[in-house]
Amino acid sequence: MRPYDVLFDQALTRVDAERIHHVAFRAIRAAAPVTGRAVRVPSRPVQALGLTFPHPLGLAAGFDKNAVGIDGLAALGFGHVEVGTVTGEAQPGNPQPRLFRLKADRAIVNRMGFNNDGAEVVARRLAAWRSAGGSTVLGVNIGKTKVVPEEDAVRDYEKSTGLLARYADYLVVNVSSPNTPGLRDLQAVEKLEPLLAAVRRRADEASPDRRVPLLVKIAPDLSDEDVLAVGDLALASGLDGIIATNTTISRDGLATSAAEVEHVGAGGLSGRPLTQRSEDVVRLLRGHVGPDLTLVGVGGITTVDDARRRLAAGADLLQGYTAFVYEGPLWPQTIVKGIVRGLATDD
């Protein structure tokens, strides 16, 4: 058993998950100067979204909601970092506790509710980071402010886009979190199309000297038919990519007892239970949209084999979050080294 496994099982899991997240994240930020020198991750450049990524693996949105630790996370070996979800207005999120571990399933349930400092504060933070030379490939994930009614959602996304697009290497429209009432309704093509068009226009206005790539993040709970409809919309609207997938509201097939699952309650489930469905969505999309649209595979990627399978299914890039929590700070290095070895063998 690895030292991190002992620490996780005997100490970290005895403390509230959200509290441990904040403690661990502070340690990651404080250690950045040391880890940046010590960590050596092999390079395997990926050309996607008109950008050069040092390798396929990045950190999914949700870990660094407020863009406070980009350099520390990159120092651990992530080739890109996606911050957010950021909303037009600052909001505290849902009542605590709102983050839970399902250890038997190597999964996490969260109902955070887009707690973040808001687009204006995050924009100022990113401006300072860029001015200081920040160069990690940066994604910015934007969502709807909870108190904003659905009919005003477009204006809310436009506000975030106008403030944040100029600092982002790519921009993600999040319409798939289960923790903001009504948000997933925006995945319906008739609502998603005008939203994406408005965000595209606002991004071009906010960054006139550079076209910021635009992606949408979808849920694993969409039917195959709806997944394909989003793929068609992405092609028709000139979208640059799709992130597949967000968390699930399903609780099917869990090893965790029904009583514990009921006690944890509502929220988005991430981790190992998503592995197969997220892989299937990537494969379905790639077969439908062809080679040109960038697909980012996320959901249940824990092992090197998971990562290789997701790339084989058609993902250009990968992201993780839950496995990073369960496997520890060496996880990014392990995955990237395994990917690079596999690609070298394939070559």
The single residue of 160, 176, 177, 278 carrying the catalytic annotation is: 177
- Count of alpha carbons within 13 Å of 76, Cβ hemisphere only? 26
Take residue 185 and report the two structure tokens written for it: 């309704």
245 phi, psi to nearest 5 deg? -145, 170
Take residue 157 and report the two structure tokens written for it: 């996304």
Report H helices in the chain.
Answer: 3-10, 17-30, 32-38, 70-75, 119-131, 153-164, 189-206, 224-237, 258-264, 275-289, 304-313, 322-327, 331-346
Known binder of ligand: residue 321?
yes
The rounded Cα 324 to chain-centroid distance in angstroms is 12
Known binder of ligand: residue 25?
no
Known binder of ligand: residue 179?
yes
Known binder of ligand: residue 275?
no
Task: Work out the burial of residue 253: count CB atoms within 10 Å of its CB; fewer than 13 is exposed, 13-18 middle, 19 or more buried.
Answer: exposed
Residues 236, 175, 200, CA angle at the centre, nearest 5°?
45
Known binder of ligand: residue 146?
no
Take residue 299 and report the two structure tokens written for it: 């959901």
Known binder of ligand: residue 322?
yes
Known binder of ligand: residue 134?
no
Known binder of ligand: residue 300?
yes
Known binder of ligand: residue 226?
no
Known binder of ligand: residue 338?
no
Q: What is the dihedral of CA 187, 240, 213, 296, to 10 degrees?
A: 80
Is 257 an active-site residue? no
Known binder of ligand: residue 245?
yes
- Binding residue numbers for substrate: 65, 110-114, 174, 179, 246-247
List residues forming the annotated binding site for FMN.
Answer: 61-65, 85, 141, 174, 217, 245, 271, 300, 321-322
Residues designated as active site: 177
In the annotated binding site, the residues are 61-65, 85, 110-114, 141, 174, 179, 217, 245-247, 271, 300, 321-322
